[in-house]
Structure 1
Amino acid sequence: MITVHHLENSRSQRVLWLLEELGLDYAVERYARDPKTLLAPPELRAVHPLGKSPVITDGDVVVAESGAIVEYLTDRCGGALVPAPSTPEHRRYTYWLHYAEGSAMPPLLLKLVFSRLAPGSPVLLRPMVKAIAGGVTQKFVDPQLRRHAAYWEDELAARPWFCGDSFCAADIQMSFPLEAFAARGTGAGPRITDWLARIHARPAYARALERGGPYAYA
């Protein structure tokens, strides 16, 4: 039996959604974030040395990292939700599968980190920290996010899904960056908004929310 070690309000929600799309049986082991640090609890280290989510277990097999989990689960289903090999769609699939974490998530994480620096700093230093964090966000992070968002808009203007005419596992992988971007009020365009509406309307997405519980990706 596949077990998803599911950290609340995290990227592991994508794994639940993928499992629902694939029709695989699975169990959910839930973990709550530390209310002060918002970090994963130490119990996750018993599953994987880094103590992070997403991570799944399948018997004696332990798989961590979103992209690796997507590949493991789609391979387990004979390549379901993966475009045919040696096609333009498959090349785009490989790209978006890795782009989601390698390129899209870093500026989003930076924005989150810088937004929390000032509130967590000593009172006397708070104005200076706020000014520095705000300057970095305005001059570096936000321009990067706008560039990525424009890229997504252009790609979704060329095709309905990230890899082509059909929904695939790379769209699941891309969901968290686009959801986080839109939730933080950074100016999602009409094609991003439409794409998000279409993934949220998928029955498997709704079933994953029921299994995973409340999901705040902001």
Structure 2
Amino acid sequence: MLTVHHLQRSQSERIVWLCEELGIPYELKTYQRDAKTFLAPPELQQLHPTQAAPVIQDGTTTLAESGAIVEYILTKYGNGKLAIPHTADNYADYLYFLHFANGYFQPALVGYSTVLRSGISRDDPSARFARRNFEQALKILDGRLTKNTWLAGEDFTAADVMNVFTLTTARLFFPYSLAGYEGILGYLQRVSQREAYKTAMAKGDPGLVPLISAEKPRSISGLNKGLPTDTVTKTASGTVNQTTQNLNNTTEKVTDQTIPGEFPSDDAKYDKPPPDISFSSIWSAFKTWLFSFFPNILDRFENWIKGLIAWILPPPRQAKMYEAILKRPIASSFIICQLVCCGVPLLVFLAV
């Protein structure tokens, strides 16, 4: 029998859901995350070099990576269900969104979160680039789902199974809002009504309410608090075999406090204009840099300008010229160039 190793609150929920949609017999083994590291427990890590879920075992075959597992199960047990034949007009759409989740959407989400965790300013070009990729992924999905019932068209497929996790449970790790994405929100409502989805979530993640609303969820600070730490084995028929280990009955602790990498609650306040690269800002930065090396250069510059103006212009015009040079950077640059180009040769001529 096919065995599905599922780490609770992880993307391995896709495999449980897929098996329920196909109606195939399988054995489900669930694992709790470590309370401190949030990683898979040692007994799950030992199953595959990736040390992460999902993992399936089918006879002598052990396979990881949700995308690979989905294709394996569809090919071996699907009998054509939840897939689009290559002769269909929407085959390319199906194939694209089947790989969209792990190929673009999830990396964009994790990438943006990683940038925020690093402490880089949200105005930094790398942060803006990461955010742009993440928002673009949401726009692609929303645009598609505004015009179609499911990602491949009017038929529910494995492409939907692959993408829903990043729109729902993944938000426990990387909280973000879906406000304004009406296509996605309607889609999640349709997903939540599927019997196979409800059954899969009840078996794999009992007590977890699917995150199908627009609101940004609260951050998780203790994934397995309040959940038993045993390894629980369930068959598709509902039989439960439980290996007794230590139980952790502490209350689940969830906090509203911002954790490293959490998306801002009000992203609008981070939409600052790009850095000022006008002539005035460059001139100001240059003067600051110059004065840091030559502290007295400002006094010398002003005295030199005053002397040059007094020598060239009559008294009534000296004040205006002085203000124009020292208060207006563009005018000052132009005038200084004129003074240097005209005044210095004149001084040399008179001296000779």
What range describes the TM-score normalised by the shorter chain of this pair?
0.7 to 0.9
Contact 1:2–1:58 under 8 Å retained in 2? yes
Work out the CA distance in 2 between the residues paired with 1:87 and 1:207.
Answer: 30
Structure 2: 5+ residue stretches without partners: 212-216, 218-352
Q: 1:185 aligns with which of 172, 177, 180?
A: 177
Q: For residue 71 of structure 1, what is the aligned residue in structure 2?
A: 71
Shift in Å, 1:143? 2.1
Deviation string, structure 1 residues 54-99 (Cα, Å, up to 9, x no partner): 1111121112111111111111222211112222222211111111
Q: Calculate the aligned-residue CA RMSD, in Å.
A: 2.3
Tell me, yes or no, if structure 1 residue 60 matches structure 2 residue 92: no
Q: Which residue in 2 is equivalent to 1:21? A: 21
1:211 equivalent in alignment to 2:199? no
Partner in structure 2 of residue 152 of structure 1: 141
Contact 1:84/1:90 (<8 A) preserved: yes
Tell me how far apart the structure 1 counterparts of residues 178 and 186 of structure 2 sit (CA, whole Å): 16
Determine the structure 2 residue equivalent to 1:126: none
Task: Determine the C-alpha separation between the residues in 2 that align with 1:176 and 1:84.
Answer: 24
Secondary structure, aligned partner of 1:88: coil
How far 1:191 moved relative to its partner? 0.6
What's the offset of the Cα at 1:158?
2.8
Match of 1:109?
Answer: 110
Sequence identity (%): 36
**Which is bigger in relative contact order (C-alpha 8 A, separation at least 6)?**
1
Structure 2 residue 92 is matched with structure 1 residue 91 = yes
The 3 A distance-change label for structure 1 pair 42 and 111 is farther
Asked which structure has the greater CA Rg, the reply is: 2
Aligned twin of 1:100: 101
Paired residue secondary structure (2:90): helix
Q: Which runs of 4+ in 1 moved over 3 A?
A: 111-115, 133-138, 180-183, 214-218
Distance 1:186 1:133, change over 3 A: farther
Q: Which amino acid aligns with 2:93?
A: R
Higher mean C-alpha deviation, range 135-144 or range 61-70: 135-144
d(CA) in 2 for partners of 1:35 and 1:133? Answer: 30
1:3 aligns with 2:3: yes
Among 180, 185, 189, the residue aligned to 1:197: 189
Read off the aligned partner of 1:69 and give its amino acid letter: I
User: CA deviation digits over 1:149-182, x for unaligned, max 9?
Assistant: 1111211123211111111111111111222469
Find the residue that maps to 1:28 and give its secondary structure. Answer: strand
Q: CA offset at residue 10 of structure 1? A: 0.3
Distance 1:161 1:138 in 2: 31
Which amino acid in structure 2 is aligned with residue 152 of structure 1?
L
**Could you say which structure has the higher helix fraction?**
1
Counterparts of 2:196 and 2:10, CA distance in 1: 18
Provide the TM-score with structure 2 as the length reference. Answer: 0.54
Would you say the 8 A contact 1:43–1:51 is kept in 2? Answer: no
What SS does the aligned partner of 2:56 have?
Answer: strand
Distance 1:82 1:133 in 2: 43
* CA-CA distance at 1:37 after TM superposition: 1.7
Residue type of the partner of 2:191?
Answer: I
Following TM superposition, by how much is the alpha carbon of 1:46 offset from its aligned partner in structure 2, in angstroms?
2.3
SS of equivalent to 1:3: strand
Deviation for aligned residue 1:188: 5.2
Counterpart residue identity of residue 72, structure 1 = Y
Contact 1:17 1:204 in 2 (8 A): yes
CA distance in 1, matches of 2:11, 2:55: 10
- Residue 50 of structure 1 aligns with an amino acid whose one-letter code is T
CA distance in 2, matches of 1:213, 1:45: 19
